[in-house]
């Protein structure tokens, strides 16, 4: 699919913008997690709300540790936002434990939320540091995936979730089919970690049709927060009323420009940057 210009309309001054909720962990280095989500939401003209699931100790070199937020506090944040402010879409990131995953799923059903839910199944950081207890993978598959409008795993997460090693187009399609059987409405198997191609191809699947989204692979090591940024952009586009293929096409174009504008930081991987929009 041809990628569209990576912009969404900004609300008029004084108007109430669309609202999107991110249920995710905090990144002390500011590159990923809720910090990345809120940057993209703000620069797409969306009011971002948060339910913090964990506080991480991390920088550009990796995650040093994290502290889980008690599940009742996570649920309380979700309830406080949706019962007063209201949201047009939501996304999840780092959920940290089976208890938090179950609490988020239970609150989603109890509050009878029908807005799009983008599940970014964060299992490990880009450095390989674990961000989800192994015992929580079953909870993710059984409890949250059936509620998801879209799940957006990278190739390492695909391997953990459905034991498929994606090495080419055929195995990418097999992974999408296996993930779709777990219950989400749509699956996006991201190809950014498949280094055998000069392009980065993401594959979207709804149980019937496949949609491919190609973009040039940019020569940068500053890609921290790319997955969070993509999922946040999809959620923003869905809040604007985009259909799923168009929302993913928009988000793919957005994260490509964020990679192009990425900057060095610290001694490791710098963050992708949506700040490019400030110059347009």
Q: Which domain holds residue 238?
A: 18-155+220-276
Whether 103 is covered by a domain: the verdict is yes
Count up the domains in the chain and report the number: 1
Flag whether pLDDT at 134 surpasses 80. no
Q: What is the mean pLDDT of the chain?
A: 92
Flag whether pLDDT at 3 surpasses 70. no
Query: 157-198: per-residue pLDDT in tens?
Result: 999 999 999 999 999 999 999 999 999 999 999 986 565 566
Assess contact for 204 and 248: CB atoms under 8 A: yes
Whether 226 is covered by a domain: the verdict is yes
Entry pTM: 0.94
Whether 211 is covered by a domain: the verdict is no
Rg (CA), the chain: 17
Flag whether pLDDT at 37 surpasses 70. yes
**Averaged pLDDT for residues 50-55:** 97
Whether 250 is covered by a domain: the verdict is yes
Phi-psi region at 193: left, alpha or beta (left = phi > 0; alpha = psi -120 to 50) = alpha
Whether 49 is covered by a domain: the verdict is yes
Query: 248-260: per-residue pLDDT in tens?
Result: 999 999 999 999 9
Q: How confident is the model at residue 219 (pLDDT cuts 50, 70, 90)?
A: confident
Where residue 129 sits, what CATH number does that domain have?
Answer: 3.40.1190.20
Query: 103-131: per-residue pLDDT in tens?
Result: 999 999 999 999 999 999 998 666 566 67
Q: How far apart are the first and last CA of the chain?
A: 24
Output the six-digit token pair for 280: 């347009």
Whether 5 is covered by a domain: the verdict is no
């Amino acid at each position: 699919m041809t990628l569209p210009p990576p912009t969404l309309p900004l609300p008029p001054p004084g108007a109430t913008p669309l609202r999107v909720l991110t249920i995710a962990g905090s990144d002390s280095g500011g590159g990923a997690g809720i910090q990345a989500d809120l940057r993209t939401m703000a620069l797409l003209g969306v009011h971002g709300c948060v339910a913090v699931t964990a506080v991480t100790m991390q920088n550009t070199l990796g995650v040093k540790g994290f502290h889980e937020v008690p599940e009742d506090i996570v649920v309380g944040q979700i309830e406080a936002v949706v019962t007063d402010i209201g949201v047009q879409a939501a996304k999840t990131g780092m959920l940290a434990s089976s208890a938090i995953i179950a609490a988020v799923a239970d609150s989603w059903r109890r509050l009878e939320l029908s807005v799009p839910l983008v599940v970014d199944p964060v299992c490990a950081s880009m450095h390989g540091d674990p961000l989800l207890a192994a015992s929580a993978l079953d909870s993710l598959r059984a409890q949250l995936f059936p509620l998801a409008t879209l799940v957006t795993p990278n190739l390492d997460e695909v391997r953990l979730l459905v034991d498929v090693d994606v090495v080419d187009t055929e195995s990418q399609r097999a992974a999408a089919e296996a993930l779709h059987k777990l219950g989400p409405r749509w699956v996006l198997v991201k190809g950014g970690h498949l280094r055998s191609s000069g392009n980065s191809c993401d594959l979207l699947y709804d149980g019937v049709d496949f949609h491919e989204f190609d973009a040039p692979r940019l020569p940068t090591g500053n890609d921290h927060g790319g997955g969070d940024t993509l999922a946040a952009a999809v959620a923003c586009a869905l809040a604007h009323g985009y259909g799923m293929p168009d929302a993913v096409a928009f988000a793919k174009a957005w994260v490509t420009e964020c990679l192009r504008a990425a900057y060095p930081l610290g001694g490791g991987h710098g963050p992708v940057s949506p700040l490019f929009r400030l110059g347009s």
